[in-house]
Amino acid sequence: MDCCKDKQNILHRMRSWFKKSKSESYSENLITKKVALIGNPNVGKSVIFNSLTGAYVTVSNYPGTTVEVSRGWYMKDGIKLEVVDTPGMYSILPITDEERVTRNLLIEENPDLVIHVVDAKNLERMLPLTIQLIEAGFKLILVLNIMDEAKTLGIEIDAIKLESLLGIPVVSASAALNVGINEMKKVLEEQVKNVA
């Protein structure tokens, strides 16, 4: 009887040690950061959010409001990112409850990185928010989404030139077609490693 108890104790201690040493060694090199997805309504933020987080998603109301905020996790090669899909906003100066929630979230949670998703068909109308986010001091990635429809309309965007003008990474994508998603993930991982 004592022999069995001793074996159980030893096994229990071994399991505890293994779990502890495994999690410690993993967490030593783990980069944990917060990323916020920002953009006007209907620009494809949710599609990008789902492609980053998969099934690891929770949806809840922002405290004191009926506005929903989705949160999930992106994990790859020692990087663990909390990804927040914010309500649609047109400006950092809020008019609607949704914009107020997004602005408050940016201020209170201070994400390490912001992914600004824009509709490439309406780039001129959406770039002012990009400028506001840059001027507010956020580390930013600009995703030119819905590029397939922009090309169909004969709209051409020089992403490299835009990147040079803005001084931030710019990625072309058609998230609904899964085009540009891998490039966006690569840029995201590179940028996260450079965040202090």
- pLDDT of 13 higher than 60: no
The predicted model gives 18-29 an average pLDDT of: 43
Check residue 54 and give its pLDDT: 86
pLDDT tens-digit series, residues 125-181: 999 999 999 999 999 999 999 999 999 999 999 999 999 999 999 999 999 999 999
| Residue 83 resides in a domain | yes
Q: For position 2, what pLDDT does the model report?
A: 53
The count of structural domains within the chain is 1
Residue 42 lies in a domain: yes
Residue 16 within a domain: no
Please check whether residue 1 lies inside any domain of the structure: no
Domain hosting residue 118, numbered range:
30-193
CATH number of the domain residue 167 falls in: 3.40.50.300
Could you tell me if residue 48 is inside a domain?
yes
118 pLDDT higher than 90: yes
pLDDT digits (tens, 9 = 90+) for 64-113: 787 889 999 999 888 899 999 999 999 999 999 999 999 999 999 999 99
Tell me, yes or no, whether 77 lies in a domain.
Answer: yes
Report the distance separating Cα 55 and Cα 24, nearest Å. 25
Give 128's Cβ-side CA count (13 Å radius).
9
- Residue 9: its pLDDT value, please? 56
Residue 51 forms part of a structural domain? yes
Between residues 65 and 22, the one the model is more confident about: 65
Output the pTM of the full model: 0.82
Does 53 fall in a domain? yes
